[in-house]
């Protein structure tokens, strides 16, 4: 099975320091929706793994998160793509839960759900914690320079073997999809 794991905010859609708190605030990064469609059409299972601490902080509720994700699913479907699953951690940044990236719990759960080892699976993110979670499960860490990606690269402490691409569309081209 061909699988790819994507972070949400900063990879698929524009991020906000104020959090994405409504479907209206969810806006795709140009080219990202079409990139997901190309992955789907190339036979990839596309899974989103996203920290959503705004839920734990009370900035939005579960119904709102569901509405945001419904908008993302519809937008991707309209472009001919599919997101097979969305995994999220609702806990705040000060939490020690095993699912909040950089901890690998969400990615471990993805491997279990899809009954596949994650070694070498492309895991695309815009932050160091995305890359650290990928490395922890032996996935292929890929940094995009959208979202917080430029800041992450400028930090200079990328895990060994991290690939760097301008955006999700460039990642998809590099994957041959």
Residue among 9, 15, 126, 130 flagged as catalytic: 9
Interatomic CA distance for residues 128 and 47, integer angstroms: 19
**Residue in the block written with tokens 């914690």:** 129
Helix/strand/coil for 48: strand
Reported as type and span, the H/E element at residue 168 is: helix 168-174
Q: How large is the C-alpha radius of gyration of the chain?
A: 15
- Please provide the size of the chain in residues: 177
Does the annotation count 7 as an active-site position? yes
Does the annotation count 167 as an active-site position? no
Interatomic CA distance for residues 79 and 12, integer angstroms: 13
Residue among 7, 15, 126, 167 flagged as catalytic: 7
- The CA–CA distances, whole Å, from 41 to 34, 36, 94, 177 equal 10, 9, 39, 8
* Active site residues per annotation: 7, 9
């Amino acid at each position: 099975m061909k699988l790819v794991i994507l972070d949400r905010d900063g990879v698929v859609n524009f991020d906000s320091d104020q959090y994405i708190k409504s479907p209206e605030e969810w806006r795709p990064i140009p080219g990202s929706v079409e990139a997901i469609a190309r992955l789907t059409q190339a036979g990839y299972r596309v899974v989103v793994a996203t920290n959503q601490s705004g839920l734990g902080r009370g900035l939005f509720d579960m119904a709102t998160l569901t509405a945001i994700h419904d908008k993302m699913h519809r937008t991707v479907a309209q472009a001919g793509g599919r997101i097979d699953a969305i995994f999220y951690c609702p806990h705040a940044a000060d939490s020690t839960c095993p699912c909040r990236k950089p901890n690998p719990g969400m990615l471990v759960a993805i491997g279990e759900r899809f009954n596949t080892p994650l070694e070498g699976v492309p895991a695309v993110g815009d932050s160091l914690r995305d890359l650290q979670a990928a490395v922890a499960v032996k996935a292929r860490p890929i940094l995009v320079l959208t979202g917080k990606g430029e800041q992450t690269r400028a930090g200079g402490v990328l895990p060994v073997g991290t690939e760097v691409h301008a955006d999700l569309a460039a990642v998809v081209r590099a994957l041959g999809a």
